[in-house]
Amino acid sequence: DRGEYRHFMAKEIHEQPEVVGRTLAHYLDMATGQIRLPFEAKFDWAKLERLTISACGTAYYAGLVAKYWFERYARLPVDIDVASEFRYREAPMARNGLALFISQSGETADTLAGLRYAREQGQHVLAVVNVPTSSIARESDVVAPTLAGPEIGVASTKAFTCQLTVLACLAIAAGLARGALSAAEGEALASELIAVPGLLAEALKSEDRIQELARDISRVSDVLYIGRGTSFAMALEGALKLKEISYIHAEAYAAGELKHGPIALIDETMPVIVIAPRDGLFEKTVSNMQEVAARGGRIVMISDRETVGEAGVDDLRAIEMPRMAPNFAPIVYAVPVQLLAYHTAVVLGQDVDQPRNLAKSVTVE
Ligand code: M6R
């Protein structure tokens, strides 16, 4: 039931404060800020040599964000690949390795095949899945559920933010178990996570502004998304969302890569969506944004209001996010990229929930 919404995708975007809150409460005691994983790990985080992550599409981008988190908070080396490559790569795997698969449906053929490969290679197998009865859940040693509820729109939205929420909790748990985080550092990160559902609700207030910008985006044929660190993964996710439902060509680049080629594309017709929460890489992203502005690119900056004000670019259109601590910004910054794709597709009259050529669950390779 779509309720008051025109599309399932809109409903699912708006459900995020609730389902992320529910998922978080399943992994974290909201009163004490202690992480409490809802499963018994059959492996010891402290002894792992390597984490290998694999998934497809949006679930892969959740894994890409998590790579930064596991490396930073748990000091755990991470290898990540799309499942269609991983399954055939003949990757040698660490002796005491954990393989992590992420899937909304739990039925994606390539992800399932990657899981079987990892098992043959003697890996511990952990799956973050939204459908607990799925094949991927059944074939894993340990299941970390997302509590997003059924996701109907072909474009994944609430499953993605719930995946990020679970992955954040796993990274903190791993950091604590490996002694890479002190108890105080773990609590500080947990308190940042506890703020996320409220911040998601705030982020949704940018919808009117995004609707305005979507009218402009609907008139172009190409869009570039840039960001650094976890925001690079969010740039990839933003570009995928726009492509799949509006059919506008979009590409994402790590902001530092622009000068190695793609900056040649920039002219007055090219919108560049800059994902720039105030974090340790912000200054670097801003200097890349200034390079784009100097070449006439049309900048849409996603950041908080104070930070947008400090960006030093005159001709800039902004999508304002709430001010927040930086660590879990990707969960909140998912909202504007989802809404921008959604409203662009609506302006163009596309079939948002059932985009052409796509299926909700890709059970063939
Ligand atoms: O069910 P899964 O999470 O395994 O699906 C993976 C991808 O097929 C999926 O995320 C796809 O990329 C979505 N259409 C993205 O919005």
For the chain, give the secondary structure using H, E and C: CCCCCCCHHHHHHHCHHHHHHHHHHHHEECCCCEECCCCCCCCCHHHCCEEEEEECHHHHHHHHHHHHHHHHHHCCCEEEEEHHHHCCCCCCCCCCEEEEEEECCCCCHHHHHHHHHHHHCCCEEEEEECCCCCHHHHCCCEEEECCCCCCCCCCCCHHHHHHHHHHHHHHHHHHHHCCCCCHHHHHHHHHHHHCHHHHHHHHHHHHHHHHHHHHHHCCCCEEEEEECCHHHHHHHHHHHHHHHHHCCEEEEEEHHHHHHCHHHHCCCCCEEEEECCCCCCHHHHHHHHHHHHHCCCEEEEEEEHHHHHCCCCCCEEEEEECCCCCCCHHHHHHHHHHHHHHHHHHHCCCCCCCCCCCCCCCCCC
**Nearest atom of ligand 1 to the alpha carbon of 136:** 4
Band of residue 311 on the pLDDT scale cut at 50, 70, 90: confident
CB of 355 shorter than 6 A to ligand 1: no
Distance 151 CA to ligand 1 centre (A): 11
- The arithmetic mean of pLDDT across residues 83-89, rounded, is 97
| Enzyme catalytic residues | 360
pLDDT at 313 (0 to 100): 85
Q: Can you give the pTM of this predicted structure?
A: 0.98
Per-residue pLDDT reduced to its tens digit, 282-303: 999 999 999 999 999 999 999 9
Kindly give the number of the ligand 1 atom that is closest to the alpha carbon of 157: 16
Band of residue 348 on the pLDDT scale cut at 50, 70, 90: very high
Buried b (16+ CB within 10 A) or exposed e, 281-302: bbeebbebbeebbebebbbbbb
CB of 281 within 6 A of ligand 1: the answer is no
Ligand 1 atom nearest to CA at 55: 4
| Banded model confidence at residue 312, pLDDT cuts 50, 70, 90 | confident
| Ligand 1 neighbour 137 (Cβ under 6 A) | no
Nearest CA to ligand 1 atom 11: 57
364 falls in which pLDDT band (50, 70, 90)?
Answer: confident
Residue to mutate (ligand 1; options 8, 100, 105; most atoms within 8 A of CB): 105
Task: Answer whether residue 310 shows pLDDT above 90.
Answer: no
- pLDDT of 247 reads 97
pLDDT value at residue 314: 82
How much is the pLDDT for 290?
92
pLDDT of residue 180: 98
Is residue 152 lining ligand 1, measured as CB closer than 6 Å?
A: no
- pLDDT for 200 equals 98
Task: List C-alpha distances in Å: 351 to 36, 49, 258, 338, 354.
Answer: 41, 45, 33, 15, 6
From the CB of 146, is ligand 1 less than 6 Å away? no
- Distance (Å) from CA 55 to ligand 1 centroid: 9
Mean pLDDT of 214-234: 98
- pLDDT of 120 higher than 90: yes
Residue 155 has pLDDT above 90, yes or no: yes
ipTM above 0.95, yes or no: yes
